[in-house]
Structures are given as C-alpha cells and as structure tokens.
Amino acid sequence: MEIKKSEFTISAPRVSMCPKDNKAEYAFIGRSNVGKSSLINMLCNHKGLAKTSATPGKTLLINHFIINNEWYLVDLPGYGFAKRSKTVQKQLEQMISSYILQRPQLANVFVLIDVRHEQQKIDREFVDWLGESNVPFCIVFTKADKLGPVKARMNAEKWMHALEDRWEALPPYFITSSEKKTGRDEVLDYIDEINKS
C-alpha cells in the first residue's frame, strides 16, 4: 500500500472531540520518547506531520491524521514519563485508556517498544491490559538503527518470548527504524490487510 496523502485533522483533548466520521483508526502508543510521532512521519514520508522532540512528553493530545482521505493514523501521548506531575500523568492515562476503550473505529493499536531495552514493567502491564480488554494490537520495536539488524532481532525475540508465560498466542511484531525507514512496508501492509478485512 502507498500513502499518497497525509494531513493533520485535529488534536483532541478527549474522546468526545475526536472526528465523528466512522473511518478506521490506527493508534500509536508507548513510553514517552519511544518514537511514536517519528514513526508516523516515517510511514507517511512526511517530515513534520506529527511533532517530534528529543525531550520526552512532546505529544499531549489525541492527534488524528487522515491518510488517503480514507483512514486515520492517531498519535497519542506517551505513558510513564516520570517528570510529569502525578495529576497530569493521571489525566493523560485516563485520556489514553478512554480513547482505547471507547472508540469503535479503533482498528488496531501499535505498542511501541525501544528495541534497546529489556522488557519494562510498565510496557508489560500495558500489553497485558490490552490483551485482557480484547483490544487488537501488535508490537513495534523502534530505533533498530541504534543496534544494527542482528542485535535488534535478538532483543525483539527475547522481548516477545518474555510474554509467553502469560499469553499463549503472541501478537504480531515489527522491527523498525524511523531513521532508516526500516519496517515501513511491513507495517503499511499490515494496516492494508486490516483495512481490506
């Protein structure tokens, strides 16, 4: 699948203010600074579409981008950013969970994991919560360019393996680099398959 057109639609502070049409949505979520906004830009071949920053905590709203006038990519704020106040963190988590649970248009959640790191409790808990809530999701490992292909694959496999104690069927996973455009076709083909189903 090719992305011919990608445009910013709206930044919503809560679910009730998200677009009212019934187009399918693909949301990107993960710890602050993991590379959600960068991945959206890479998939769209559109630098600056989603705002990125070297400082964690850049994305604070539910951001919709309309793709080929047909479906949405959704950039969400990161979870687990220690430097935020507890109140702000709670509000963001509330916003993220209500978006995920109250959005029938949500076709898939992409959970982003920095491929350099061992499985962290917060990511594990988030993935378990998605599974328990029956939300369709897959894992996207990011920043593979920082490790190289062999080590990135090893880390990703180890991370997935660590889910096996609790989940029999593991979700699909992708290894990506927004810097090198690794994994672009695979992620877009996955979206295309869901769109067609």
List contacts with ligand GTP (CB under 6 A).
32-38, 52-54, 56-59, 77-78, 142-143, 145-146, 177-179
Residue 107 DSSP SS3: strand
Indicate the residue type of 76.
Answer: L
The residue (of 36 and 184) whose beta carbon lies closer to Mg ion is: 36
Q: Shortest approach of ligand GTP to residue 167 CB, angstroms? A: 24
Selection from 175, 42, 22, 68 nearest residue 112 by Cα: 175
Nearest distance from C-beta of residue 196 to ligand GTP, angstroms: 28
State which residue, 6 or 177, has the beta carbon closest to ligand GTP. Answer: 177
142 binds, among ligand GTP, Mg ion, none (CB under 5 to 8 A by kind): ligand GTP
90 contacts: CB under 8 Å, gap ≥ 6? none
What is the CB neighbour count within 10 angstroms for residue 120? 14
Q: Reduced to 3 states, what is the DSSP secondary structure of residue 17?
A: helix
- In terms of CB distance, is 37 or 142 closer to Mg ion? 37
**What span, in angstroms and rounded, lies between the C-alpha atoms of 62 and 76?**
5
Tell me, rounded to whole angstroms, the distance of Cα 147 from its chain centroid. 20
Using CA atoms, how far apart are residues 135 and 151, in angstroms rounded to an integer?
30
Name the residue nearer to ligand GTP (CB basis): 104 or 148.
148
Partner from Mg ion, ligand GTP, none binding residue 38, C-beta < 5-8 Å depending on class: ligand GTP
CB of 134 vs ligand GTP, minimal distance in Å: 25
* Smaller CB separation from Mg ion, 112 or 163: 112
Q: Which does 68 bind (CB under 5 to 8 A by kind): Mg ion, ligand GTP, none?
A: none
In the complex, minimum distance from the CB of residue 59 to Mg ion, in angstroms, rounded to a whole number: 3
Min dist. Cβ of residue 82 to ligand GTP (A) = 13
Residue closer to Mg ion (CB basis): 52 or 160: 52
| H helical segments located in the chain | 36-44, 86-101, 121-132, 149-161, 184-196
Please report the beta strands in 13-70, taking only residues with DSSP state E, as ranges in sequence order.
25-30, 62-67
3 state DSSP class of 110 = strand
Q: List residues near Mg ion by CB under 5 A.
A: 36-37, 58-59
Write down the least CB distance from residue 166 to ligand GTP, Å.
25
